[in-house]
């Protein structure tokens, strides 16, 4: 069963009528081809109208859509011969952070990303996509392994934030993320980072220092979620829509402020509408970026990476 968001209700109503019409054709000899064609055109037109005028909060909702492809979905659809690697060699394996070597096109890459769950059991196992310190240490271990074998690194970002529990802080959550930031600046191999869903706070930034940073069309990237921002400013979650507008957290906003390099278009209706089409397009974007980055001298890549992030923001003395 497909899940519809609140602003998609008009589309859901038309698609329900379309399904009923098709069932009528199966149970009787009535020719409904003309009615089906009209309904399909109406659905397509309505979908265009709705998705061309999305608010920032609606894009946040799309980034969290339960049918949206997650990291392991993209790996399955884009990559061949994926070998998942586990553990940080210090505490344990963190299921909220996955990664390993795979074949992407004609080259081997290290792909790392946060992973959410589809049902209650999976969400608990993946900790709702919120990594612990060992998740970030595992990610760094895999990045260093990729550097050792001179393989490019791809990171897929989709997290509501690093896990904020007491035990995570006891094991050094802040230090683990900070170390990743420092080490990723100095990686000698190409690094491409893509926000595929939620990009919240340091939990996202912990695997997001790269030569190229991309965002899918219906994603967000910010230091805080609209709900938490609303809670701080208005002492209530009821102003999350206003908070999202004020925060300017969408891919378009990030590109306008020169915080990301490129927006990756999604299929009409969102990435959840066609996983394969989305994966194919993302794969092309990654391969094109790798071809560009592979032609640059490693030290020059590092210099450009540092300069890229140092140029963000404004400092007034």
Cα distance between residue 276 and residue 285, in whole Å? 14
The pLDDT tens digits for 222-236 are 999 999 999 999 999
Q: Which H or E run contains 154?
A: strand 153-159
User: Residue 35's pLDDT is what?
Assistant: 87
The pLDDT tens digits for 14-66 are 999 988 888 887 788 777 788 889 999 999 999 999 999 899 999 999 999 99
User: Residue 191's pLDDT is what?
Assistant: 98
Q: Are 264 and 194 in contact (CB under 8 A)?
A: yes
Cα→Cα distances 156→73, 134, 198, 298, Å:
11, 17, 10, 22
User: Residue 33's pLDDT is what?
Assistant: 82
Q: Are 209 and 309 in contact (CB under 8 A)?
A: yes
pLDDT band at 82 (very low <50, low <70, confident <90, very high): very high
Q: Are 195 and 157 in contact (CB under 8 A)?
A: yes
Q: Are 110 and 146 in contact (CB under 8 A)?
A: yes
Three-class DSSP category at 131:
coil
154 strand-pairing partners: 111, 192
Following DSSP, what letter does each residue of 7-40 receive, concatenated? GGHHHHHHHHHHHHHHHHHHHS----HHHHHHHH
Cα distance between residue 245 and residue 247, in whole Å? 6
The pLDDT tens digits for 231-257 are 999 999 999 999 999 999 999 999 999
Residues written for the chain: 317
Three state DSSP letters for 155-217: EEEEECCCCCCHHHHHCCHHHHHHHHHHHHHCCCCCEEEEEEEEEEHHHHHCCCCCCEEEEEC
Which CATH number describes the domain made up of 60-311? 3.90.226.10
Q: Are strands 262-264 and 212-216 parallel, antiparallel or unpaired?
A: parallel
Cα→Cα distances 35→8, 13, 24, 62, 314, Å:
22, 15, 11, 30, 57
User: Residue 28's pLDDT is what?
Assistant: 80
- pTM value is 0.93
Cα distance between residue 15 and residue 136, in whole Å? 43
Which one-letter DSSP state was computed for residue 250?
Answer: B
Boundaries of every domain in the chain: 6-53, 60-311
The pLDDT tens digits for 151-198 are 999 999 999 999 999 999 999 999 999 999 999 999 999 999 999 999
User: Residue 158's pLDDT is what?
Assistant: 97
């Amino acid at each position: 069963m497909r899940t519809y968001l609140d602003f998609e209700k008009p589309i859901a109503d038309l698609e329900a009528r379309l399904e009923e019409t098709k069932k009528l054709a199966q149970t009787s000899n009535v020719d409904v081809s003309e009615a089906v064609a009209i309904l399909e055109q109406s659905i397509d037109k309505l979908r265009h109208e709705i998705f061309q005028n999305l608010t920032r909060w609606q894009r946040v909702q799309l980034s969290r859509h339960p049918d949206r492809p997650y990291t392991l979905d993209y790996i399955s659809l884009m990559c061949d011969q994926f070998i998942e690697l586990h553990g940080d060699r210090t505490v344990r394996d963190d299921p909220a952070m996955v990664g390993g070597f795979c074949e992407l096109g004609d080259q081997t890459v290290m792909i790392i990303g946060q992973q959410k769950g589809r049902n209650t059991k999976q969400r608990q196992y993946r900790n709702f996509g919120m990594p612990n310190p060992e998740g970030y240490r595992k990610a760094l271990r895999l990045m260093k392994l990729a550097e050792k074998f001179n393989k490019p690194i791809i990171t897929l970002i989709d997290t509501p934030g690093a896990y904020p529990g007491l035990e995570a802080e006891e094991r050094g959550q802040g230090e683990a993320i900070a170390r990743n930031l420092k080490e990723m600046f100095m990686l000698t191999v190409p690094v491409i980072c893509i926000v595929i869903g939620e990009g919240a706070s340091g939990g996202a930034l912990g695997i997001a220092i790269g030569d190229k940073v991309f965002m899918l069309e219906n994603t967000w990237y910010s230091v805080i979620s609209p709900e938490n921002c609303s809670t701080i400013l208005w002492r209530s979650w009821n102003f999350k829509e206003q908070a999202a507008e004020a925060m300017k957290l969408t891919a378009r906003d990030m590109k306008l402020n020169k915080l990301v390099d490129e927006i990756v278009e999604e299929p009409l209706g969102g990435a959840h509408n066609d996983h394969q089409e989305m994966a194919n397009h993302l794969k092309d974007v990654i391969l094109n970026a790798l071809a560009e980055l592979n032609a640059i001298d490693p030290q020059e890549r590092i210099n450009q990476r540092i300069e890229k992030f140092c140029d963000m923001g404004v400092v007034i003395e």
